[in-house]
Structure 1
Amino acid sequence: METVADRSSELVDKRYYRAGATWQDDTHRSMRRSRTLAWIVSGISGLVAVLSVLALVLILPLRQFEPYVVEVDKSTGYLEIMRALKPGDLSQNEAVTAANLVRYIRARETYDSRELKQNYDLAQLYSTDAASKDLTWLYTPANPQSLDKIFGRNVTVSVEIKSVSLLNRNTASVRFATTTRRNNSSTADNWVAVIKFRYTSTPLKNEWRFDNPLGFQVTDYRRDQESAPAAGSLQ
């Protein structure tokens, strides 16, 4: 005898059950794929985080903290950061350039009748273009303000270098002080010089190489007074 349940089951299309089973399988596969993808992404993120920490641990000992000393000039209030010298090729080393600049200013700004020719020749050896012309004019007899006429034989000017700052590859700023002694009195002046320079590859005479082996040349020289002169008597 056929029951109602049997007749109902015959009325339902079997494709409905197959579609439901397929949907369930697809849903489970999609969930598994999503879960697998999530684990992969989280694993990659964790690996990147671990590598970042390891890189930081390896780099941290290489980090250096360089201390700076700030110098304040008592007479002018000028602030300057003192820097350590850097190793490098001798012809391009900042220390060599600074030494050449100091030597040039000492030769050009020092005045002593007993060493006048020696200082003048050295300053001219380091000078070219406008710097050389200006230096020549300072000692030209036709110049009424030539230094040998103003100072004569009884005046001396000594130079004290305070700092050398390289502004770029071919320009420097040098701060220095001069002390002018005349009879029993002395006058101190503070100056800042802006110097343009270069290194030439033009062959020099052998005797010039002893005083200027790297071909250092000052192309332009300008100095300005930093503060009013302070006069004092020699004891």
Structure 2
Amino acid sequence: MLKKRNTTNIDQAVAAGVNFEITVADLARRSERRAWLVASCASGVALVLAGGYLAVMPLKEKVPFLVVADPYSGTSSLARLTDDVVNRQITASEAINRSNVAHFVLAREAYDLALTNLRDWPTVLTMAAPDVAQPYMELHATNNESSPYRLYGKHSAIRVKILSIVLIGGEHGQTPTGATVRFQRSVYDKTTGGTYPLDSKIATIAFAYKANLRMDDQNRIENPLGFQITSYRVDNDYGSTAPAEVAAPRPRAESKATPTIPADTEAGDATIPPSPLAVEAGYPAPSTSTPPPAIPVTPTAVRRAANGGHRQ
């Protein structure tokens, strides 16, 4: 028999076969490691996406709104449904916007001789654009016969009650650009304490925040965020009912209410405080023969007059 001999070719073939097996095993192990790495990365990305989705879910919450209609006046108002009615939640930006709008409307539409120059003038002129402030200055001008001072003097005041404030704009987290304010005005008699209705109004406002407004320290305290009214329009609100008339208690005979005059002002020389701007020099003294402002006649007053002052 012939003995098998190991030749060089046989050794090379055997080595190549062994290397092939090792290479296939290495490729399988590498592929497995690569597959596990890809699976781990995919799992991590899926977990991150799931966490982000859970974090964004409150923004996608659909909050229903309820439209409430007044059965007497027919006016409608928008109410937001909340879980807690007593402790109603509101964002800081919404609270600031509503507060600025309310401060401007109260200062713009109210009148009180003792507070006009102290509070209303700085508030209106600080928050109003020049086009909006000009009509207010013309309303209180000395040559305006229909100014609040000539109509109501120093013994009457106009009180403002805000009924609702609806912000306009502000979708998708943006700052609102306007508001609609419904309010009622009433005349308060300081001498008797009586109150009678004046009118109901609705104001349409456009505003913006301008941080680069040039103001001194006092005005910056009044308007720290640069809130400015760029458009202001007031219309009659025929849908809302007039405020109820409040009867004042009759003063006793021995304690008659007498109007007080400041120490530095002589009797019959009542003047309105000058405006913060130098355009108002002061109102002239009203004539003693000028009758007081006429009080609107209500249906209740007409019926009482017809019955000799007695109620039906």
**Shorter-chain TM-score tier:** 0.5 to 0.7
2:208 corresponds to 1:198? yes
Quick check: 1:175–1:191 contact (8 Å CA) kept in 2?
yes
**Deviation at 1:123?**
1.4
TM superposition outliers: structure 1 runs of 4+ over 6 Å: none
Equivalent of 2:179 in 147, 172, 183 = 172
Task: Using the TM superposition, name which of 200-209 and 156-165 deviates more.
Answer: 200-209
Deviation per CA, 1:151-191: give whole Å up to 9, x if none: 11121111111111122332211111111124545114221
Would you tell me which structure has more helix in proportion to its own residues? 1
Tell me what 1:130 maps to.
131
Quick check: 1:85–1:95 contact (8 Å CA) kept in 2?
no
TM-score under structure 2 normalisation? 0.49
Identity of aligned residues (%): 25
**Deviation at 1:85?**
5.9
Quick check: 1:180–1:186 contact (8 Å CA) kept in 2?
yes
Question: Hey, what's the Cα distance between the residues in 1 that align with 2:163 and 2:69?
Answer: 11
Quick check: 1:76–1:226 contact (8 Å CA) kept in 2?
no
Q: Which amino acid aligns with 1:186?
A: Y
Question: Hey, what's the Cα distance between the residues in 2 that align with 1:65 and 1:170?
Answer: 23
Quick check: 1:85–1:94 contact (8 Å CA) kept in 2?
no
Tell me what 1:103 maps to.
103
Compared CA separation, residues 165 and 75, structure 1 to 2 (3 A): same
Equivalent of 1:80 in 66, 77, 82 = 77
**Count of paired positions:** 174
Quick check: 2:195–2:246 contact (8 Å CA) kept in 1?
yes
Compared CA separation, residues 215 and 225, structure 1 to 2 (3 A): same
Quick check: 1:165–1:174 contact (8 Å CA) kept in 2?
yes
| Superposed CA RMSD | 2.7
Question: Tell me, which stretches of 5 or more residues in structure 2 are unaligned?
Answer: 1-49, 81-87, 170-175, 249-312
Compared CA separation, residues 177 and 74, structure 1 to 2 (3 A): farther
Quick check: 2:186–2:243 contact (8 Å CA) kept in 1?
no
Question: Hey, what's the Cα distance between the residues in 2 that align with 1:64 and 1:71?
Answer: 22
Tell me what 2:247 maps to.
234
Secondary structure of the residue that 1:201 maps to in structure 2?
Answer: coil
Tell me what 2:233 maps to.
222
Compared CA separation, residues 86 and 158, structure 1 to 2 (3 A): same
TM-score under structure 1 normalisation? 0.64
Quick check: 2:122–2:219 contact (8 Å CA) kept in 1?
no
**Deviation at 1:213?**
0.6
Question: Hey, what's the Cα distance between the residues in 2 that align with 1:187 and 1:194?
Answer: 22
2:68 corresponds to 1:68? no
User: Whose radius of gyration is greater, 1 or 2?
Assistant: 1
Tell me what 2:146 maps to.
145
Question: Hey, what's the Cα distance between the residues in 2 that align with 1:142 and 1:82?
Answer: 45
Secondary structure of the residue that 2:111 maps to in structure 1?
Answer: coil
**Deviation at 1:101?**
0.2
Quick check: 1:174–1:193 contact (8 Å CA) kept in 2?
yes
Tell me what 2:14 maps to.
none
Q: Which amino acid aligns with 1:201?
A: A
**Deviation at 1:128?**
1.2
Secondary structure of the residue that 2:245 maps to in structure 1?
Answer: strand
Quick check: 2:182–2:202 contact (8 Å CA) kept in 1?
yes
**Deviation at 1:76?**
3.2
Would you tell me which structure has more strand in proportion to its own residues? 1
Quick check: 1:68–1:82 contact (8 Å CA) kept in 2?
yes
Quick check: 1:156–1:181 contact (8 Å CA) kept in 2?
yes
Q: Which amino acid aligns with 2:97?
A: T
Compared CA separation, residues 200 and 98, structure 1 to 2 (3 A): same
Q: What does residue range 6-17 of structure 1 map to in structure 2 within 5 Å?
A: none
